[in-house]
Amino acid sequence: MNDRLLSSRPHRVTRPLAALALGCASLLLPWSVAHAAPDDTLTLVVGYPAGGTTDQVARILAPHLSARLRMPVKVENRVGHGGHQAARDVAKADASQNVLLLSNPAVMVIAPVTQNNLGYSPDKDFTPVAHVVDYELALAINKDLPPNRMMFLVSWLWSHPEDSRFAVPALASLPHFFGLKLSVAARVKPTIVDGKGSAALAANLASGREKIAIDTLSALLPRHQKGDVIILATSGRQRAKQLPDVPTFYENGLKISALGWNAFYAPSSMPAAKVQMLGGHIRSVMSDPAVRKAILNTGMVPVAAGPDETAQMLRRFRSEWEPLVRHYSFAP
């Protein structure tokens, strides 16, 4: 594609003028021409198994982003250490690599507080590119568990302390710390266990291997719609559009809320001009009605924010959650 585009220019243009024309044209050409990588492919790295919230977002966006950039865009699942291995890998990418990390609060906010020798720094090793979705959390139960309302569940947990167990998609994730907030608000002392990813967690909840789970609304919604599990409460300040009959935790008298997110980050080695260009393209893709509809159908909320807005979002989220994570991580 590059050769065809470049060879279409008149051969009689003098060398200085041709160089100037090529430089100006690079601002308008697809990213694959202006910033060609060895394989002319943009890789979206996801640190979680296929089927989870982050993976869903990447796979919805990839074909639309590919069409806009006029180059291949692939999704690569690099699973390990709760998403941290993917972050470590992308942090090491050099300036020639076309790679973005689709990340979340666990990687960019929680892990830097809870872990030593993480292997990457969110501030030093990454540059915000685009904030693409927000998502609520939800608490769901196995359909055969007796309580069918949130406050009934709280009472049931008081009388069944041996069953006071919350499964979450990963330890040190946003659902994990939200579960700790819930335990304080409801005055229960659950054991929080690792569900080994959203897909496995939902399956185990449906089968009865787990009785209570906290995960993203998008991960639990399909099982709820099938009747395999029952969502009792969602974490927004208002009821989720997909579940208008399900009350929030606030409505149940539990004064807690949470909103997670997915955002693209580039390795800090990526040139600033490329970051801005990719951020602009992703923001345009997120404004596409077809993309927005696909995102909403999963239970998430589409966001179209570029690099500067994404950086501001991260600062706001940190100011809210870092003190809580620090308290729950190091409380006696």
- Which residue matches tokens 């609060």? 105
Residue 238 β-bridge partners = none
Q: How confident is the model at residue 330 (pLDDT cuts 50, 70, 90)?
A: low
- For the segment 134-139, the average pLDDT, to the nearest whole number, is 97
- Taking only the tens place, the pLDDT of each residue in 14-54 is 333 333 343 443 333 333 333 334 458 999 999 988 888 89
- The CB-based long-range contact list for 271-279 (8 Å cut-off, 24+ gap) reads 271/35, 271/95, 272/127, 274/31, 274/35, 275/127, 275/129, 275/307, 276/306, 276/307, 277/31, 277/34, 277/35, 278/31, 278/100, 278/129, 278/130, 279/129, 279/130, 279/306, 279/307, 279/310
Give the predicted TM-score (pTM) of the model: 0.83
